[in-house]
A and B are shown apart, each in its own frame.
Chain A
Amino acid sequence: MDKQEFTITVYTENQIGLLNRIAIIFSRRKINVESLNTSPTEVDSVHRFTIVINETEDVVKKLCRQIEKQVEVLKAYYNTDEEIIWQELALYKVSTDAIAEKVKVERLLRKYGARAVVIRKDYTVFETTGQREETDGLVKALEPYGLIEFVRSARVAIIKGSSRFHERLKEFEKKEPGEEVIENEFLDKNEEVFTM
């Protein structure tokens, strides 16, 4: 199996120390985390981790099981890039003079869909949202004109085939979780698994 980019989505309780518990699952196996985002979800007290790694599916599946094993983790999913809609936010600080003087820069910014966040005499900060290649493209293009500072956020992603997490959470909160809560990929691929 080849390594490819996977996005792991983890729903957790909001608990101090959980970030470390999840991070060491990767570091223990010497797996580099490409990007990690954690933020509150639409559900009160539930947090969401979005983690991007480059690994084989076999490894990612095992990692998800290890993550889900943590007491305060509600659920962990993994998806390939095709299965998600994802974005990164990027901020670019450039000299205002440079853009004012060089028309080319303005054209560039239009091309990449950048938006000005702050315009000052000395510098201007632009913002883009997009995928890795797009932000990389603008960074490269801006470099000759004096890119002063650049930062990008971790990836955030929406899973194309997801269902409402609210409903699942209600199930978790019940004492005896309903059967549909237990995700079981073997069951979904019944025939494949039991072919002998």
Chain B
Amino acid sequence: METLQKIKETPKENTLAKTPLGYGGISGSIAVLEAFIAEGVSTIFGYPGGAIMPIYDALYDYHDRLNHILVRHEQGAIHAAQGYARTSGDVGVVFATSGPGATNLVTGLADAMIDSTPVVCVTGQVFAHLLGTDAFQETDVINITTPVTKWNYQVTDATEIPAVLAKAFYIARSGRPGPVLIDITKNAQLQLFDYEGYEKCNHIRSYRPAPIVRKEYVEEAAKLINEAERPFVIFGQGVILGKAEKEFKAFIEKAGIPAAWTILGMSAIPTDHPLGVGMLGMHGNYGPNLLTNECDVLIAVGMRFDDRVTGRLDKYAKQAKVIHLDIDPSEIDKNVKTTVPVWGDCKETLPMLTKLVEHKVYPQWIQKFADCIAKEKEKVIKQELNPSSEILTMGEVIELVNELTKGDAIIVTDVGQHQMVACRYAKYNQSKSNVTSGGLGTMGFALPAAIGAKFGDKKRTVVAVIGDGGFQMTLQELGTIMQFDIDIKILILNNEFLGMVRQWQELFHQKRYSFTDITSPDFVQLASAYRIEGKSVRKREELKSSLSQMLNHKGSYLLEVMVGKENNVFPMVPQGKGVSEVVLCKEDIQ
């Protein structure tokens, strides 16, 4: 307490920045903030509480250098940090207190872990002497978060703080990125120690961020590609995380190979790229799914063969030789047996491969994809984008967003039907434009993630496309938007159902709609309570002008669009089926 008093008594204007660091003691709390500044952190998403009060007290003097966004729930903080990381390409940072503050981070940590998002969370913890005594707001945060963090560590002594945070940032952003949690006991936050400055970490002896590239494999892969007749590239977020968009484009353009993206790989190349053939996966495009089982060489770049992409593994690309480029050695052969593994950072391996592959074109092969698109247009896309009925579809809303934003917006989606539709129809011109919860499928992700996405790239328009169900999971973050005057366009696609589950109930459970009809409040009134303007539309003639009003509005805006209640997302690879069993309509199932 005496130490806390000392901190309190320091002048409001912090003198630390003016005095050379390293003279005199500083508190562990100040060391945390100095580390953030040294790591280039500008925005922190957080929520104070008892066990993290010393850090918040120190933050009081740092408000000119560190922008802290007070969220309404710690889950909101970590999703915001994820959104920030996705659009900025840097590490998102979170503060939370001990106990419930820390446990509220778990969903976000799991989401960041499975989607390889670099996040550093600093949680407060009870005094070290109280650890294990069931103290007030004590939880075993380290053990709770171990399976959902790339690394975590508990600090009980302030002298460790600079080195531990340096390690945290290095681990979070290097190699295959991921979330890191640092739990700091209150005594360490208060403890004064001789600060010797901050040194960034760039090597840990037991940690190799990326395997060394083996030239032999690159050569072998190039040979396979050059001999191929129907090569097919599938790529994931690795291209974006590796900041290798240019290298990737150069590779497919030289080799002339059609390329399909996973949901997280989306926007790594512009969606209208001539070699871009669409999205993979359960609700991806028809061609990429069907033709996975017709290609002779499958080149996977920075993707992990998720089950939503592969469908049944024993019916997945059995005819093809598989080349897998990945930074994480544990991904090679994890789900799909590789013919040639190309270990390494694709920023490094792709140019090596590009150099060795021949200039080629595959007009007949690419025509096959075009034929599939034509078929999909006829059977699915046409009705979705130009419906014959008066009832609005999610697809036409997204199409209008494309038209009005010209594909320059960042689109953040939640989880469910609207997510699949948005990802199927959204157009993107630049990388890091699609922010969604891919691996974990976290409903409630979009609203807080959109807040972070805006801070990650302030110049761009952020449209948060959210379903009526997911919105109600984290709508408390409207308070954050209100308080910090954040400019987000909230687009609720309301079908008055938990649509994706309802679709499965319709298709596989004899339409037994068990607890999927969800009632919503008046979203426009709700927004208005948070001083956010809004509107609800259900008529086609009002749709475009309303969307345009939303996009042109200065500041945040909520637009609710009432869409068809029982529309389904197609194509679909039903669970337990192979990718080539992809169906275009309900009648084709079974």
Contact = CB atoms under 8 A, between A and B. Distances in A.
Nearest to B142: A17
A186 B324 CA distance: 13
B147 A74 contact: no
A196 B321 contact: yes
B205 A71 contact: no
A194 B342 CA distance: 13
Contact of A68 (B150, B216, B330): B330
B211 to A, nearest CB: 6
Interface of A: 12-13, 16-17, 20-21, 24, 28, 61-62, 65-66, 68-69, 71-74, 169, 172-173, 175, 177, 179, 182, 184, 186-187, 190, 193-194, 196
A50 to B, nearest CB: 18
Given A13-B206, A69-B328, A73-B206, A62 B151 contact: no
Contact of B147 (A16, A24, A69, A179): A24
Nearest to A178: B212
Given A184-B214, A187-B216, A196-B321, A69 B330 contact: yes
B339 interface: yes
Classify chain B: how many residues form its interface, as a range.
20 to 34
Given A17-B142, A71-B150, A66 B214 contact: no
A28 B148 CA distance: 12
B143 interface: yes
Contacts of A62: 330, 333-334
B354 interface: no
B205 A182 contact: no
B220 interface: yes
| Best-buried of B146, B205, B214 by chain A (most CB within 10 Å) | B205
Interface string B302-336: 00000000000000000001000000111001100
16 contacts: A12-B206, A17-B153, A62-B333, A65-B329, A66-B330, A71-B171, A169-B205, A173-B205, A175-B202, A175-B203, A182-B211, A186-B341, A187-B214, A190-B216, A193-B340, A194-B340
Given A186-B341, A196-B321, A72 B206 contact: yes
A182 B341 contact: no
Contacts of B205: 74, 169, 172-173
Contacts of B116: none
B204 interface: yes
Contacts of B321: 196
B146 A24 contact: yes
A20 B146 contact: yes
A74 B330 contact: no
B515 interface: no
B339 to A, nearest CB: 7
Given A71-B171, A72-B206, A17 B330 contact: no
A70 B324 CA distance: 22
Given A24-B146, A69-B330, A71-B171, 6 more contacts: A21-B146, A73-B206, A172-B205, A173-B205, A177-B208, A177-B212
A74 B146 contact: no
B489 to A, nearest CB: 39
Interface string B181-225: 000000000000000000000111111100110101100100000
Contacts of B216: 187, 190
Given A62-B334, A71-B150, A71-B151, A196 B214 contact: no
B334 A68 contact: no
Interface string B129-159: 0000000000000110011001111100000
B339 A196 contact: yes
Contacts of A13: 206
A20 B142 CA distance: 10
B267 to A, nearest CB: 27
Contacts of A169: 205
Nearest to B223: A194
A159 to B, nearest CB: 19
B143 A20 contact: yes
A179 B212 contact: yes
B208 A65 contact: no
A28 B147 contact: yes
Contacts of B154: 16-17
Nearest to B143: A20
A194 B150 contact: no
A9 B237 CA distance: 33
Contacts of A21: 146
Contacts of B211: 182
Interface in B286-309: none
A173 B216 CA distance: 26
B207 A71 contact: yes
Interface in B108-128: none
A20 B149 CA distance: 13
B413 to A, nearest CB: 28
Contact of B152 (A12, A17, A61, A194): A17
Nearest to A65: B330
A182 B212 contact: yes
A50 B211 CA distance: 25
Nearest to A173: B205
B116 to A, nearest CB: 12
B171 to A, nearest CB: 6
A177 B142 CA distance: 30
Contacts of A72: 206-207
B142 A74 contact: no
A17 B146 contact: yes
A119 B476 CA distance: 71
Given A28-B147, A68-B330, A179-B212, A74 B206 contact: yes
Contacts of A61: 333
Nearest to A182: B212
Interface string B217-238: 1001000000000000000000
A71 B204 contact: yes
A31 B454 CA distance: 43
A120 to B, nearest CB: 37
B188 to A, nearest CB: 15
Contacts of B328: 69
Nearest 6 interchain pairs by C-beta: A65-B330, A172-B205, A74-B206, A71-B151, A71-B207, A173-B205
A69 B205 CA distance: 13
A57 to B, nearest CB: 12
Contacts of B207: 71-72
A169 B205 CA distance: 8
B567 to A, nearest CB: 37
Nearest to B147: A24
A74 B207 CA distance: 7
Interface string B149-176: 0111110000000000000000100000
Contacts of A193: 339-340
A167 B214 CA distance: 22
Interface string B329-360: 11001100001110100000000000000000
A47 to B, nearest CB: 11
Contacts of A182: 208, 211-212
Contacts of B146: 17, 20-21, 24
